[in-house]
Structure 1
Amino acid sequence: MKFLKNNLLIQIIIAIVLGSVLGNRLPESIGRIFSTFNSVFGGFLKFIVPLIIIGLIVPAIGNIGKNAGKLLLITTAIAYSSTLFAGFISYGVSITTFPNILATEQLGNITESTKNLESYFDIAMPPMFDVMSALVISFLLGIGISKGNFTYLEGVFNDFQSIIMSVINKAIIPFLPLFIFGIFLNMTYNGQVFVVLDTFVKIIGVIFILHVFVLVFQYVIAGTISKQNPFMLMKNMLPAYFTALGTQSSAATIPITLEQTIKNNVDPKIGGFTVPLCATIHLAGSTLKIVACAIALMLVQGQTVDFTLMVGFIFMLGITMVAAPGVPGGAIMASLGVLASILGFDMEQQSLMIALYIAMDSFGTACNVMGDGAIAIIVNKISKSKTIPAEA
């Protein structure tokens, strides 16, 4: 029971299976109870998402900019470039392969289905401001704090970040399995569940292959720059990779990541700086998954995947990933605002994104962590060639 309590992935899988099995077996009156919970919880999510954006992005930008030396700027630039590369590779492969793979899938808009489980009541929880306003406010405040001497304001937003993280960990993540159960219960009731499950299976293989490609590419660059064998570098990082598979957390894997990074001839001071930083700001594997899952969901719902729209989405997602906490499910929670504001995803579509993402969370985290090792090697080489002090 303790294993089940602490393993979000297993909880999500159980929720999907139970929802898919019980959708046509539970009395409608019972199903409506879960639909009512989903209505209330979905309303709360819609209310909290702008606050999550502010709570995560403002401290992230403020802290990154504070006393920023060349090493910090270089590491951040490389991490952001790696994240964008993963996002655009994911877009290119997804838009090329998914139309054929998912050609037989057709999922109508969940909220517009003629046969849905109705909730008994709704509770209106309008957000204080919309998602785009939250993003603009976050950037303005974060940049302002990073450039000025606003110690009190910085402390306020660091405390606010702690509150938001507590809300995510105690009021959102624990109830996600029940929320996803209700979504799949309703999809089974209206006959759409098998399309979604078939979509899950078809895209997981493609995303895993993309993860491998991105990692090989990162280490070929790191090996070329440092004049080391990229595959030996990858071999040394495997303990961190497999640790991340178990923890599903970049932050929890930092000690192992740092230990293995040092074995790749990285200066301990450079490793001690880049590994914890990248655990927070470098989420290439997570970006790859989010882009691929979003495209898959858009295709099966008959939406047009516009190139210009996706370019803006990937650039903004990359910035959002800088603010995403390195904890299980942190990346997808931070990305909900961008999914809503740019791609127009409603709460039901966002819940499917959460389910798709968490189903592959271990592999995405492992990709993030292993990529951190490659960035550390590159930064280590740059710091030596340019004589940038490690304590910058």
Structure 2
Amino acid sequence: MNRIPLLVRIILAIISGIFIGVIVPEEAIELFATFTGLFDNFLSFVIPLIIIGFIAPGIASIGKGAGKMLGLTAGLAYLSTILAGIAAYLVARNLYPVILERQNAGGMENPEESLTEAAFSVEMTPIMDVMAALIFSFLLGVGMASITNGTLINVMTDFRSIIHKVIEKIIIPLLPFHIFGIFANMAHSGQVATILSVFAKVFVMIIVLHLVYLVAVYGIAGALHKANPVLLLKNLAPAYFTALGTQSSAATIPVTLKQTKSIGVKEKVADFAVPLLANVHLAGSTITITSCAMAVLYMQDQAVSFMSMLPFILMLGITMIAAPGVPGGAVMAAVGLLESMLGFSSIMVSLMIALYLAQDSFGTAANVTGDGAITTIANRLIGISKKSPNLKNKQAG
């Protein structure tokens, strides 16, 4: 089963959930609801551990980088991520009232009230809330970066490996069954048509936003290097399509590194920036999470102002640091913020996960392709190379 790509498993879960939900009796739906309730509780318990396990070591490892190159590259990555999230919010706020005009019907305002309830539940109280986990992670990460003794860093690295295994071996394999249960319940209650209509429209909008983002960031890179941005983007196409297949920024690093060097970025800059950006630059994922969150809120007929969304986007940019290198890692890291800052319920989180995972590979592809542009911009601003002969030669050819 694990050999089947996650996207395929998610699609099969949605389709089979809809079909089964229409034909099975209430007792079967209650069984599915019980599983999804248990999974929701387990996910709530694990979220603070994910935050601590990945953000603290991520901040510590970045803090041990070298001076100007680190600060500039990380700053560009964060700025790119935040601007991408803000752009996604603005587009969604203005476009959703048009393309989702009929999708915020009364039946979706309080979906929990019409869904079948679980037969029983098991309380799994998190060891701390999300904001406490974030603050603790920042303090721990900064502290580990400032000390010379690596004992605690080694402990946290091992802890990250454990949490990575939990995500990879438990959460990700069970997610399709969780989504199956959610859609079976919604199909049984008659809500699924609205959800599918939203999925299709939001999916197309997100892909377009990814492409617009890449054109914009490569336009900036091309302007700084006095190079053709279309040519730069074309040279990074192998990284884009590799990420589509692997759904992993980390697995695409060798391709991104090779293609970035081929457009004239100095080897020293590329070797440092590309692996760093694979962990801290998730502009594509931020576009997806912001767009999906806005869609779920819109379906609930919940308006969200820019000043309410901005803190979420700013925190999201930080939370994306060292997001797990597994499919769906970014949305797993963001679940805590969705619940604590945007007030997402368990059903809303489930819809969010399904929306995100349906196009996870495209978000990852936008992330790694954007890494090439950010590295190119950093190469210019750092001042290591005043000229880029490879770029000029490629244009001449």
CA deviation after TM superposition for structure 1 residue 325, in Å: 2.5
Partner Cα separation in structure 2 for residue 261 and residue 66 of structure 1 = 24
Structure 2 residue 15 is matched with structure 1 residue 17: yes
Report matched runs for 1:289-368 at 5 Å. Answer: 289-368=288-367
**Amino acid in structure 1 at the alignment position of 2:141:** G
Contact map agreement 1:46 1:347 (CA 8 A) in 2 = no
Q: Does the C-alpha gap of structure 1 residues 30 and 91 become closer, same or farther in structure 2, counting only changes over 3 Å?
A: same
Contact map agreement 1:219 1:230 (CA 8 A) in 2 = yes
Contact map agreement 1:274 1:376 (CA 8 A) in 2 = yes
What SS does the aligned partner of 2:320 have?
A: helix
Partner Cα separation in structure 1 for residue 360 and residue 180 of structure 2 = 18
Contact map agreement 2:168 2:326 (CA 8 A) in 1 = no
- In structure 2, stretches of 5+ residues that fail to align are 387-397
Partner Cα separation in structure 1 for residue 364 and residue 271 of structure 2 = 19
- When structure 1 is superposed on structure 2, of 26-35 and 242-251 the one drifting more is 26-35
Deviations 1:127-178 (A, max 9, x none): 1111111111111111111223342211111111111111000110000000
Name the structure 2 match of 1:127: 126
CA deviation after TM superposition for structure 1 residue 210, in Å: 0.8
CA deviation after TM superposition for structure 1 residue 385, in Å: 4.8
Partner Cα separation in structure 1 for residue 188 and residue 244 of structure 2 = 34
Report matched runs for 1:159-308 at 5 Å. Answer: 159-308=158-307
CA deviation after TM superposition for structure 1 residue 383, in Å: 2.9
**Amino acid in structure 1 at the alignment position of 2:109:** G
Partner Cα separation in structure 2 for residue 124 and residue 191 of structure 1 = 29
Contact map agreement 2:266 2:385 (CA 8 A) in 1 = no
- When structure 1 is superposed on structure 2, of 188-197 and 324-333 the one drifting more is 324-333
Identity across matched positions, percent: 52
Name the count of aligned residue pairs. Answer: 383
**Amino acid in structure 2 at the alignment position of 1:225:** L
Deviations 1:80-104 (A, max 9, x none): 0000110011011110101121110
**Amino acid in structure 1 at the alignment position of 2:98:** N
Name the structure 2 match of 1:83: 81
What SS does the aligned partner of 1:23 have?
A: helix
Partner Cα separation in structure 1 for residue 239 and residue 4 of structure 2 = 20
- When structure 1 is superposed on structure 2, of 147-156 and 134-143 the one drifting more is 147-156
Partner Cα separation in structure 1 for residue 315 and residue 232 of structure 2 = 31
Q: Does the C-alpha gap of structure 1 residues 386 and 246 become closer, same or farther in structure 2, counting only changes over 3 Å?
A: closer
What SS does the aligned partner of 1:325 have?
A: coil
CA deviation after TM superposition for structure 1 residue 31, in Å: 2.0
CA deviation after TM superposition for structure 1 residue 386, in Å: 8.3
Normalising by structure 1, we get a TM-score of 0.95
CA deviation after TM superposition for structure 1 residue 307, in Å: 1.7
Contact map agreement 2:379 2:385 (CA 8 A) in 1 = no
Name the structure 2 match of 1:73: 71
**Amino acid in structure 2 at the alignment position of 1:155:** N
Partner Cα separation in structure 1 for residue 326 and residue 237 of structure 2 = 20
Name the structure 2 match of 1:149: 148
Name the structure 2 match of 1:390: none
Partner Cα separation in structure 2 for residue 339 and residue 163 of structure 1 = 24
Normalising by structure 2, we get a TM-score of 0.93
What SS does the aligned partner of 1:9 have?
A: helix
Contact map agreement 1:241 1:367 (CA 8 A) in 2 = yes
Partner Cα separation in structure 2 for residue 157 and residue 373 of structure 1 = 30
